[in-house]
Amino acid sequence: MIRTRFAPSPTGYMHIGNLRTALYEYFIAKHGGGSFILRIEDTDRERYVDGAVDIIYKTLEIAGIKHDEGPDVGGNYGPYIQSERKNDYMKYALELVEKGEAYYCFCTKERLDSLRAEGDVGVKYDRHCLSLTKEEIENNLKNNVPFVIRQKIRPGKTTFRDEVYGEVTVDNEDMEDQILIKSDGLPTYNFANVIDDHLMNITHVIRGNEYLSSTPKYNLLYEAFGWDIPTYIHVAPVMKDAHNKLSKRNGDASFQDLIEKGYLPQAIVNYITLLGWSPSENKEIFTMEELIECFDVKGISKSPAIFDPEKLKWMNGEYIKMLSPEEFFRMSEPVLEKSIKTPGVDLRSVSDMVKTRINTVYDIPELVDFIDELPEYDKSLYRHKKMKTNEENSLDFLRLIIPVLEKTPDWDNDSLYSAMVNTAKENGLKNGQILWPVRTALSGKPATPCGASEICVLLGRDETLARLKKGIEVLGGNEIG
Ligand code: GLU
């Protein structure tokens, strides 16, 4: 059975690239009817950030990713936490020491620093402690001399297969005898990762391609223990542009930022899944279920993908269109309440009007700002080629329609619309020759989320008539009041 894991380090925000890795891990597990596991890799206490585990948890929840197992936390599955599994790692490290695949290193920080400064052995450890005698080691241990445990890299070459990058071969010469257990007794990420992936029966390791070069070291560990090596799927990073990775630290949006900017979780999930993965069918909008259904490792790209905020905006707009009017009103209402202070405006109907015209709810204020206050506008707005209107005839058309609207008994959309088109017909005009000047006078904008009669309803009779008269003034007529 396929088992994948998401193994984030709690170092702060959830990067878009990390979330994408979690999604791929989730899709691969679920596509194969397997399990998805969450493991917090927190053994590097220096990089630990308080609250980061909550961010990871929340992000996965909002993105709709549920892990399948873990320690019991109040009736729910918690994540596996590496720092709480300390003893296991030491046991395995000692097994490697026993097997001659790892060794105690008592070198002080000063000695290691001086090695680096000399530069004669590069940044690689010089294996000084590999030649310690049994007695020296036992003495040091007895005297509680601080130690680390290092992996003894065997000579030769290591080759492995990655599902995305194909066959990768690394000369073992290029690898350092990396630390497996630090002087605080905690494992390094590099060691804990291997032990846990084995103990948790992880079959497919999906992670960023920055780990491609460390993978041979992990494989040497698997071999030293005689364990099965998992299937590797390394993925290229998500980029901001051709040269820089997308990163919160460089001011780019995290998942949480995007949510706060009004993006729908499902739109973000859909968009970032397509960054670096191409479906076999020519389609862009996918539900979570569809992604599980059609996700295929073959579609993962070797090359980095560039995050395009405009494409995400477009996709979010598509998701907003798919919401029911009720769902959308729940989202738009707080923004509408802030944007429209005029009493009596039916926010629900404004919500319906803007739904198909925005990419995020924060596009709404600009669309509806004319409701509270008619903006200053230029009379050239009345000029419309297709509607056959200009500054001169619009003045006549407004003068024609004002008394009709004043007399319209029912101030509702149907009555107002009929009144306007009937007036046009009776006077041998095109509908637009009445509707366009009315819309312009009422909004002062070249585009509105609704037509002339709908704006009349939104504004109410008094405000409508006042704005139409103001229109006459703008067009050089003198009626006002
Ligand atoms: N803790 C590592 C990280 O956050 C995980 C790498 C892996 O998935 O193996 O980058």
Question: pLDDT tens digit string along 344-360?
Answer: 999 999 999 999 999 99
For residue 4, is pLDDT > 90? yes
CATH fold of 85-235 reads Rossmann fold (3.40.50)
Residue 479: its pLDDT value, please?
57
Instruction: Assess whether pLDDT exceeds 90 at residue 13.
Output: no
- Given this chain, do its domains 3-78+238-306 and 379-474 carry the same CATH topology? no
| Angle ∠(438,440,441) on CA atoms, nearest 5 | 65
CATH class for the domain made up of 379-474: mainly alpha
Res 83: pLDDT: 85
Specify the residue with its C-alpha closest to ligand 1, atom 9. 207
Domain boundaries, the chain: 3-78+238-306, 85-235, 323-368, 379-474
CB 440 within 8 A of CB 382: yes
- Asked whether the predicted pLDDT for residue 249 surpasses 90, the reply is no
Q: How high is the pLDDT of residue 44?
A: 81
* pLDDT reported for residue 60: 96
Instruction: Tell me what the pLDDT averaged over the chain comes to.
Output: 94
Please state which of the ranges 310-319, 378-387, 472-481 shows the lowest mean pLDDT: 472-481
CA–centroid distance, residue 267 to ligand 1 (Å): 25
Give me the architecture of the 3-78+238-306 domain, per CATH.
3-Layer(aba) Sandwich (3.40)
Has residue 118 got a pLDDT over 90? no
pLDDT reported for residue 113: 86
* Long-range contacts of residues 349-353, Cβ cutoff 8 Å, at least 24 apart: 349/454, 349/457, 349/458, 350/449, 350/458, 351/325, 352/325, 353/449, 353/450, 353/454
CA–centroid distance, 352 to ligand 1, in Å, is 44
Q: At 48, is the pLDDT very low, low, confident or very high (cuts 50, 70, 90)?
A: confident
| pLDDT confidence of residue 481 | 46
- Residues with active-site annotation: 248
Measured from the CB, is residue 237 less than 6 Å from ligand 1?
Answer: no
9 CA from centroid of ligand 1 (Å): 7
Q: What percent of the chain has pLDDT over 90?
A: 87
Of 480, 476, 388, 404, the residue nearest 437 (C-alpha): 388
Model-level pTM? 0.91
Q: What mean pLDDT do residues 205-233 have?
A: 96
CA distance 146 to 159: 35
Mutation probe of ligand 1 site: the residue of 49, 211, 219 with most atoms within 8 A of C-beta: 211
Percent of the chain with pLDDT over 70: 98
Which secondary-structure segment (H or E) carries 142?
Answer: helix 134-142
The pLDDT confidence band at residue 120, using thresholds 50, 70 and 90, is low
Query: Can you tell me the mean pLDDT for 149-157?
Result: 95
- In this predicted structure, what is the pLDDT of residue 334? 97
